[in-house]
């Protein structure tokens, strides 16, 4: 079965095949995977392979018996007795039946092995992927990650379900046929083997030539596909600049090159098959002549029946050897796929040494105590190793940064000496130009990235001590680029709180002012979103993202350009909802619109990773510094 | 569909016809070999005639060589025909797409077009090669072997006929059943991949809501469903090979039994019996191959359909017969214009728009998201055709102009802008390929791009990466404005084109345009009131209508929406723009 739809790949898929390091180690590992889950199945597969090979060898050998022991004697009898022949045929039928059953069992077993292994690998891949740090996704092309799930898994499927068993049965067939041939006649066997060597030589020569041409074809295919992608992406620009003819010209040039290389590469590949087939025929003819001569002269008691059997073996011998050389190619492709799969599986997952957990709490006699039921009150459960005591700190949303430095890549610091205090319920705004480090700061609070130097405290606890999941549970984030999932609107909102009731969903939507437009969707709250919410406008998607954060009801909110794509009019509507949402919560806001920023308790102006100004709106205006310039837009920027 | 595609075979017709012919020749040679072998056995070995064996063997070598030639030629022309067919399909589609109007581009989407030009064409290429080489060869081989079998012994040939019949029914049933399963499987497979893609793209959302376990569970269920479906499909397929082996073996045994009788009663020679056994294999293997070819063709038929769709798509906007080749001036008039994107849509995007813009005016357009601001300007350069009414540019209906002339005079900087691989100079010269270096630099100065370009180590010769990834959003926008200016248009349209440029640079660009190109009509769509405030007149679009068209001062008095927008933006101040763009955040 072919891949249903090729998912768009990154550049990687286009170039010639990459070099595989340690092919045997990868092969071993792939075997390891299938054996780990399916070793019993494999044992039976091997048995089946032997059984079906045995059956087919028995069948071929039967020709000799049929002609030498039955037909020829029968022709000499005056009243032929067919009963022994019937018994012989029934016996062979028995062998054949074994062969059929073995073929069926093998197909079934391999099906379970292959599909099961793929499922387990897929699951393992996905589970690993979910555990990887955000950094991994920032540094790897999404197309390449996707391609592991689609193309690479598919190459493994072919390798496990076809190449490996084929290889196994080829080897068994070659050996058993070889033995049978030697039993029949060693000289003819020698002829057969030497012809096979000629075949292998031709295959090697032609494969090398075709491989070289395929590499060239891949390159020109890459050039054509790259151009297609570029022009299709900018097709509207092409039209608005009347650039169609020029684009066509360039395309024709590249397309012509592709045709020439594809023609050559495929020709070499296509010629290989007839050459091998006819070499096989030549080998057949040679054996027929020599064997015929033997049979006539009765050399080495070689009979006509033996010749018939031998000639069939001659064909059976060449076939698996061709198979092996063909499978080797498929195995190389499979190994390359395996390498990429294992690369992903070997990634180091996000580490979490946090031990402070978030628990439901209530006040008992003025003392904070842990409880089972949901109280709406939360506490950090802090176990102190030193003295073995456990303390509870109420979750309030107090965030402090002390001299925080951070770099994404070594030697390229993006944040320097950041000091920050946000007391519960405060609204802190970050402003500054692109690349100033605003988003980075928020990435540090929820520990998408870990700081290089300095300390971040949350309710007085170093965030490195807090369990990541619990830390993130306590933070609500609306990100710069909204991502929604292919499920209903209701489920998308519920993503923030999986056990939310429908009423809670509606309430959250109303809070974000999303309720009005949702009701106008064809199926209202049950409308299924497609392709990251492509059927919604950017503004509507952001409203949903806000509702999603609202339903989670976290004590700390991070709004990263949450309202950037909403027009000013709608924004004022959202703003009302947001104000309600922000009430009583510590909120970090990144925005370019002054209306969003102005009423913040503290505005922090960032430039090149440093805080250059801080204060509330009035103070900063008074100061007539950077904020003032940004605000008024009057003076040229420094 | 087949007719549309077949038209693209063109110069490869000869190769396409020759290939099956060579394959047929190969089949004939293949059929001759068992027959000759029978002769070796009967007239050579059985009669002890060595010379006969040598003669026939010589004949077999000749046949093998002819077969080799035929096979090689078939391979060569098959490769040529299919590579050529793919080449022509790509070219024809690319050409067709270049003629598309925006309406068709929207319809197919960028990703859709890319898939059609790449994966789909490759699928068709493979299938075509298969058709040329195997679709004729397999049935021929089957028929020829059958004929030979009847020629040798009709009674035994009847066994084959029955076997073929039975096996064909089994194979067809298996394929039909399996295809049904596979169709469902592929669908689910796509869904699962989509979900992986979402997880890759939205990993921050997943992680910030701590939904890793939830997603894992969801995925594992989906993955297990795929497993179940795949097993169900392959369960059907797993009958394939045993059925084949069973039929073959049954045939061999039946032939052995009846053959032995016939040989004994002298109705059949031993050699013929051996030849019959060979033909038996030929027939059944051809049948197997044939069923595989059919599966492959069915699988690629979806690709063929998608490609044919593009090839058959007529562009909704074509050049008029006697086009006007000159745009007189930059005046624009909308006469009762209504427009909707899909003919079957219930509501119009723009409804009954009536207005006039004088040549050389600077016009601002404001309005909420999705109210049709971009649509309005797209109609001016006739990227879409109006449903009712007329759009008049330079005194003539846009439909009367040569498209290239019109679009060269109405220069538009699109909201979603693209730069292309090549140097900055090369990108700029999209606007005017004969522009001198000075003209390019001058345009960049107006667009406030000169300064940052000079800061690049290689200045104007800096290479832009595909998609313009090595320049920032604001830089990209300014380069696009410069590129549009180089066309020296009579009308320049900036569709939210300075959103990533900070307020003061934005102002400088507007001043540059005003001073340098006073006669050019300038239309500016903006979210920021400050970008349009100084325009001669401002269009306010609400819902599907133009609700006001006046100067800033007048609008403040007469239009409530505008006034409240202005109020919202100024009381809150302007905004800190640089940041807006860049959905990923510059720090990543």
pLDDT tens-digit map of A46-93: 999 999 888 888 888 888 888 888 888 888 888 888 888 889 899 999
Backbone angles phi, psi at B421, to 5 degrees: -55, 130
Q: Under a CB-based contact definition with an 8 Å cutoff, are residues A560 and A590 in contact?
A: yes
In whole angstroms, what is the distance from residue A358 CA to residue A381 CA? Answer: 6
Confirm if A492 and A484 have CB atoms less than 8 A apart. Answer: yes
DSSP string, B21-67: HHHHHHHHHHHHHHHHHHHIIIIIITTT-HHHHHHHHHHHHHHHHHH
Query: Alpha-carbon distance B340 to A313, whole Å?
Result: 72
Closest CA to A177 of A302, A46, A322, A56: A56
Closest listed residue to residue B470, CA positions, set B516, B510, B512, B419: B419
3-state class (DSSP) for residue B334: strand
User: How far, in Å, CA of B119 to CA of A225, rounded?
Assistant: 10
Is residue B576 over pLDDT 70? Answer: no
Q: How confident is the model at residue B25 (pLDDT cuts 50, 70, 90)?
A: very high
What is the average per-residue pLDDT within B253-266?
87
Both tokens assigned to A298? 């009765």
B146 membership: H or E segment, kind and range: helix B137-152
d(CA A229, CA B420): 11
- Residue B583 pLDDT: 31
Nearest-CA distance from B179 to chain A in Å?
10
Residue B578 pLDDT more than 80?
no
Calculate how close chain B gets to A579, using CA atoms only, in Å.
15
Q: How far apart are CA A217 and CA A255, in angstroms?
A: 11
Q: What is the mean pLDDT of residues B174-185?
A: 84
Residues of B in Cβ contact (< 8 Å) with A244:
98-99
Scanning every residue of chain B, which has its alpha carbon at the shortest distance from the alpha carbon of A142? B200
Q: What is the mean pLDDT of residues B334-338?
A: 93
> Looking at residues B203-219, what average pLDDT do you find?
86
Other CB atoms within a 10 A radius of the CB of residue B574 amount to: 23
Strand partners, A488: A528
Measure the CA–CA gap between A270 and A273, rounded to whole angstroms.
6
Residue length of chain A: 638
Mean pLDDT over the full length of chain B: 86
The CA distance from B372 to B369, in Å, is 8
Count Cβ atoms below 10 Å from residue B4 Cβ, excluding itself.
Answer: 15
Residues of B in contact with A475 (CB under 8 A): 208
Q: Which of B189, B245, B267, B382 is best to mutate for the A interface (most A CBs within 10 A)? A: B245
In whole angstroms, what is the distance from residue B446 CA to residue A405 CA? Answer: 40
Q: What pLDDT is recorded for position A515?
A: 86
Structure tokens at A453: 């130097």
pLDDT digits (tens, 9 = 90+) for A300-337: 778 888 888 888 888 888 778 777 767 777 787 788 88
Q: Which residue has the tokens 């590949």?
A: A269
**Cross-chain residue pair B585–A469, CB shorter than 8 Å:** no
Whether B53 and A293 lie within 8 Å, measured CB to CB: yes
Share of chain B above pLDDT 90, in %: 31
Q: Residue B564 pLDDT > 60, yes or no?
A: yes
pLDDT, position A570: 67
CA-CA-CA-CA torsion sign (B151, B270, A59, B27): negative
Contacts of A194 (CB under 8 A, 6+ apart): none
How far is A624 from A629, CA to CA, in rounded Å?
Answer: 7
Percentage of residues in chain A with pLDDT exceeding 70? Answer: 91
| CB burial readout A63-75, b (16+ within 10 A) else e | bbbbbbbbbbebe
Looking at residue A44, its pLDDT comes to: 93
Dist. CA B392–CA B293, nearest whole Å = 57
Q: Percent of chain B, pLDDT > 70?
A: 96
Helix and strand element counts for chain A (H, E): 21, 14
pLDDT class of B338 with cuts at 50, 70, 90? very high
Chain A window 143-182: which residues touch B at a Cβ cutoff of 8 Å? 145-146, 149-150
SS3 label, residue B88: helix
What is the reported pLDDT for B404? 87
Quick one: pLDDT at residue B521? Answer: 94
Distance CA A276, CA A299 (A): 30
How do residues B545-555 score in pLDDT, each as one tens digit? 888 999 999 99
CB B562 within 8 A of CB B540: yes
Buried b (16+ CB within 10 A) or exposed e, B540-549: bbbebbbbbb
Q: What is residue A102's predicted lDDT score, i.e. its pLDDT?
A: 92
Least confident stretch, B69-83, B199-213, B323-337, B504-518: B199-213
Do B248 and B283 meet the contact criterion of CB atoms below 8 Å apart?
no
Rounded to a whole number, what is the distance in Å from the CA of A422 to chain B's nearest CA? Answer: 20
CA A84 to each of CA A61, A62, A87, B231, B260: distance values in angstroms, whole numbers, following the listed order: 17, 14, 5, 44, 12
Residues in contact with A397: Cβ distance below 8 Å, sequence separation at least 6, in sequence order: A422, A424, A425, A459, A474, A555, A556, A585, A586
Residues 6 or more apart from B241 whose CB is under 8 A from it?
A: A103, A104, A107
Residues in B touching A111 (Cβ below 8 Å): 231, 234-235, 238
Of residues A608 and B22, the one with the higher pLDDT is: B22
Q: The tokens of A523 are what?
A: 């199926």
Average pLDDT over residues B558-577: 69
Please state the rounded mean pLDDT for residues A592-602: 77
pLDDT of residue A514: 85
Closest CA to B341 of B374, B304, B295: B374
Q: Which residues of A touch B215 (CB under 8 A)?
A: 126, 130
Tell me what pLDDT residue A305 has: 84
Quote ipTM for the complex.
0.82
Predicted pLDDT of residue B386: 92
A interface test, pick of B206, B260, B434, B493 with most A CB neighbours within 10 Å? B260
Q: Which residues contact B154 (CB under 8 A, 6 or more apart)?
A: none
Q: What is the edge-to-edge ordering of all strands in the sheet holding A461-462?
A: A412-422, A399-409, A453-458, A461-462
Only one residue has tokens 């080799």, namely: B68
Rounded CA gap, B428 and B432, in Å?
A: 8
Would you tell me how many other CB atoms lie within 10 Å of the CB of residue A127? 17
Residue A531 has what pLDDT? Answer: 64
Q: What count of other Cβ atoms lies within 10 Å of the Cβ of residue A219?
A: 16
**What integer pLDDT is reported at residue B442 of this predicted model?**
92
Chain B touched by A2 (CB under 8 Å): yes
Chain A contact present for B463, CB below 8 A? no
Across residues A95-120, what is the average pLDDT?
Answer: 91
CB within 8 Å of chain B, chain A residues 605-634: 630-634
Q: Does B588 touch chain A (CB under 8 A)?
A: yes
Q: Residue B91's pLDDT band (boundaries 50, 70, 90)? A: very high
Task: Report which of B321, B316, B413 is spatially closest to residue B100, judged by C-alpha positions.
Answer: B316
- DSSP string over B214-249: HHHHHHHHHHHHHHHHHHHHHHHHTTHHHHHHHHHH
User: How far apart are alpha carbons B476 and B464 in whole angstroms?
Assistant: 10
**A5-19 confidence digits (pLDDT tens):** 333 333 333 334 455
Q: Which two tokens stand for residue B526?
A: 């903006």
Element containing residue A208 per DSSP (H, E) = helix A186-233
Q: Do B91 and A251 touch (CB under 8 A)?
A: yes
A485 interfaces chain B, CB cutoff of 8 Å: yes
The DSSP call for residue B460 is G
Provide the chain B residues 489-508 that lie in CB contact (below 8 A) with chain A. 502-504, 507
For A:385-414, CB contacts with B below 8 A are 408, 414
Question: 10 Å Cβ neighbour count for A298?
Answer: 10
Bin A369: left if φ > 0, else alpha if -120 < ψ < 50, else beta.
Answer: beta
C-alpha closest to that of A630 among B473, B506, B511, B503: B503
Distance in angstroms (rounded) separating the CA atoms of residues A48 and A107: 10
> Which residues does B63 contact at the CB level (< 8 Å), separation at least 6?
B29, B32, B33, B36
Task: Flag if B578 and A414 touch (Cβ within 8 Å).
Answer: no
> Residue A606 corresponds to which tokens in the numbers above?
């960032």
pLDDT band at A368 (very low <50, low <70, confident <90, very high): confident
The string of pLDDT tens digits covering residues B139-158 is: 999 999 999 999 988 888 89
Torsions phi, psi of A276, nearest 5?
Answer: -65, -40
Look at residue A227 and tell me whether its pLDDT is greater than 80: yes
Instruction: Tell me which chain A residues have a C-beta less than 8 angstroms from the C-beta of B270.
Output: 67, 71-72, 304
CA-to-CA dists, residue A438 to A431, A496, B586, angstroms: 7, 24, 9
pLDDT value of residue B228: 92
Strand-by-strand arrangement of the B332-339 sheet = B350-357, B332-339, B388-393, B396-397
């Amino acid at each position: 079965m072919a891949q249903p739809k090729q998912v768009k790949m990154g550049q990687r898929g286009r170039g010639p095949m990459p070099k595989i390091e340690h092919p045997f180690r990868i092969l071993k590992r792939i075997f390891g995977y299938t054996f780990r889950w399916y070793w019993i199945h494999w044992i039976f597969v091997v048995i089946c392979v032997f059984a079906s090979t045995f059956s087919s060898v028995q069948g071929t050998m039967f020709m000799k018996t049929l002609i030498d022991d039955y037909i020829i004697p029968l022709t000499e009898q005056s009243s032929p007795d067919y009963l022994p022949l019937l018994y012989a045929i029934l016996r062979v039928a028995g062998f054949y039946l074994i062969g059929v059953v073995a073929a069926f069992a093998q197909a079934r077993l391999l099906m379970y092995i292959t599909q099961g292994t793929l499922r387990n690998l897929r699951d393992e891949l996905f589970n690993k992927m979910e555990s990887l740090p955000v950094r991994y996704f920032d540094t790897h092309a999404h197309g390449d990650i996707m391609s592991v799930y689609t193309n690479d898994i598919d190459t493994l499927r072919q390798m496990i379900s076809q190449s490996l068993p084929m290889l196994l049965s080829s080897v068994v067939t070659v050996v058993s046929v070889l033995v049978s041939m030697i039993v029949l006649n060693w000289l003819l066997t020698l002829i057969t083997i030497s012809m096979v060597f000629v075949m292998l030589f031709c295959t090697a020569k032609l494969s090398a030539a075709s491989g070289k041409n395929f590499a060239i074809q891949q390159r020109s295919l890459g050039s054509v596909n790259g151009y297609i992608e570029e022009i299709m992406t900018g097709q509207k620009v092409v039209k608005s600049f009347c650039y169609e003819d020029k684009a066509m010209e360039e395309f024709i040039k590249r397309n012509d090159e592709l045709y020439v290389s594809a023609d050559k590469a495929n020709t070499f590949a296509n010629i290989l098959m007839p050459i091998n087939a006819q070499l096989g025929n030549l080998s057949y003819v040679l054996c027929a002549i020599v064997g015929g001569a033997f049979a006539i002269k009765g050399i080495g008691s070689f009979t006509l029946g033996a010749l018939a059997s031998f000639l069939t073996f001659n064909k059976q011998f060449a076939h698996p050897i061709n198979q092996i050389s063909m499978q080797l190619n498929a195995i190389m492709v499979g190994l390359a796929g395996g390498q990429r799969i294992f690369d992903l599986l070997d990634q180091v997952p996000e580490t979490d040494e946090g031990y402070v957990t978030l628990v439901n709490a209530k006040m008992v006699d003025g003392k904070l105590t842990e409880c089972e039921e949901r109280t709406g009150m939360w506490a950090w459960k802090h176990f102190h190793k030193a003295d073995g005591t456990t303390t509870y700190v109420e979750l309030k949303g107090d965030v402090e940064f002390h001299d925080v430095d951070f770099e994404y890549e070594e030697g390229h610091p993006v944040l320097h000496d950041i000091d920050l205090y946000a007391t519960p319920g405060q609204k802190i705004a970050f402003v500054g130009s692109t690349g100033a480090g605003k988003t980075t700061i928020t990435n540090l609070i929820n520990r998408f990235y870990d700081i290089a130097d300095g300390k971040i405290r949350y309710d007085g606890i170093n965030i490195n001590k807090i369990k990541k999941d619990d830390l993130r549970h306590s933070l609500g984030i609306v990100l710069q680029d909204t991502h929604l999932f292919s499920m209903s609107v209701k489920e998308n909102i519920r993503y923030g709180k999986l056990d939310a009731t429908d009423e809670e969903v509606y309430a959250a939507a109303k809070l974000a002012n999303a309720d009005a437009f949702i009701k106008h969707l064809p199926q209202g709250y049950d409308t299924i979103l497609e392709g990251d919410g492509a059927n919604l406008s950017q503004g509507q998607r952001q409203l949903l993202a806000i509702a999603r954060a609202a339903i989670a009801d976290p004590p700390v909110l991070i709004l990263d350009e949450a309202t950037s794509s909403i027009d000013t009019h709608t924004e004022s509507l959202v703003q009302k909802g947001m104000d309600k949402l922000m009430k009583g919560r510590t909120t970090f806001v990144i925005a370019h619109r002054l209306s969003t920023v102005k009423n913040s308790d503290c505005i922090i102006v960032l430039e090149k990773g440093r805080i250059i100004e801080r204060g509330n709106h009035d103070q900063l205006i008074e100061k007539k510094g950077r904020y003032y310039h940004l605000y008024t837009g009057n003076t040229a920027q420094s | 569909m087949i007719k549309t595609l077949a038209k693209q075979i063109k110069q490869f017709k000869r190769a396409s016809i020759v290939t099956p012919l060579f394959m047929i020749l190969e089949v004939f040679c293949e059929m001759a070999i068992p027959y000759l072998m029978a002769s070796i056995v009967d007239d050579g070995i059985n009669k002890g005639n060595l010379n006969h064996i040598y003669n026939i063997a010589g004949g077999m070598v000749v046949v093998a060589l002819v077969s080799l030639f035929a096979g090689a030629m078939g391979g060569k022309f098959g490769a040529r025909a299919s590579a050529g067919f793919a080449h022509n399909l790509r070219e024809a589609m690319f050409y067709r797409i270049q003629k598309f109007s925006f309406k068709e581009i929207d319809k197919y989407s960028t990703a859709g077009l890319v898939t059609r030009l790449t994966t789909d064409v490759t699928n068709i290429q493979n299938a075509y090669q298969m058709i040329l080489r195997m679709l004729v060869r397999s049935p021929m081989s089957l028929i020829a072997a059958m004929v030979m079998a009847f020629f040798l012994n009709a009674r035994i040939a009847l066994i084959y006929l029955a076997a073929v019949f039975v096996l064909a029914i089994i194979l067809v049933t298996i394929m039909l059943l399996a295809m049904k399963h596979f169709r469902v499987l592929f669908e689910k497979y796509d869904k699962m991949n989509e979900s992986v893609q979402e997880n890759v793209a939205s990993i921050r959302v997943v992680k910030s809501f701590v939904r890793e376990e939830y997603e894992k569970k969801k995925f594992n269920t989906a993955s297990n469903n795929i497993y179940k479906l795949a097993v169900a499909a392959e369960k059907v397929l797993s009958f394939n090979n045993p059925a084949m082996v069973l039929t073959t073996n049954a045939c061999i045994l039946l032939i052995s039994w009846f053959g032995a009788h016939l040989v004994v009663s002298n109705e059949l020679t031993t050699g013929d019996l051996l030849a019959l056994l060979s033909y038996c294999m030929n027939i059944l293997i051809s049948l197997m191959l044939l069923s595989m070819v059919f599966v492959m063709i069915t699988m690629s038929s979806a690709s063929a359909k998608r490609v044919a769709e593009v090839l058959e798509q007529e562009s909704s906007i074509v050049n008029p017969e006697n086009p006007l080749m000159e745009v007189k001036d930059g005046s624009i008039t909308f006469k009762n214009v209504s427009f909707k994107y899909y003919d079957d849509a219930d509501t119009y995007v723009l409804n009954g728009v009536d207005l006039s813009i004088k040549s050389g005016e600077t016009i601002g357009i404001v309005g909420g998201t999705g109210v049709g601001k971009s649509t309005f300007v797209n109609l001016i350069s006739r990227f879409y055709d109006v449903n009712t009414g007329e759009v008049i540019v330079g005194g003539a209906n846009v439909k009367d102009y040569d498209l290239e002339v019109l679009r060269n005079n109405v220069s538009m900087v699109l909201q979603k802008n693209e730069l292309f691989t090549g140097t900055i100079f090369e990108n700029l010269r999209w606007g005017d390929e004969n522009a001198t270096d000075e003209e390019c630099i001058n345009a960049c100065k107006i667009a406030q791009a000169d300064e940052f370009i000079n800061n690049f180590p290689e200045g104007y010769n800096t290479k832009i990466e595909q998609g313009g990834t090595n320049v920032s959003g604001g830089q990209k926008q300014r380069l696009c404005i410069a590129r549009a200016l180089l066309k020296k248009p009579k009308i320049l349209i900036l569709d939210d084109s300075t959103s990533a440029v900070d307020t003061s640079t934005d102002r400088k660009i507007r001043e540059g345009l005003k001073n340098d190109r006073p006669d050019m009509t300038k239309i500016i769509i903006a979210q920021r009131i400050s970008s349009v405030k100084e325009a001669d007149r401002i269009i306010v679009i609400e819902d599907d209508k133009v609700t006001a068209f006046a100067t800033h001062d007048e609008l403040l008095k007469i239009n409530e929406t505008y006034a409240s927008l202005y109020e919202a933006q100024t009381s809150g101040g302007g905004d800190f723009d640089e940041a807006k763009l860049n959905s990923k955040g510059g720090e990543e």
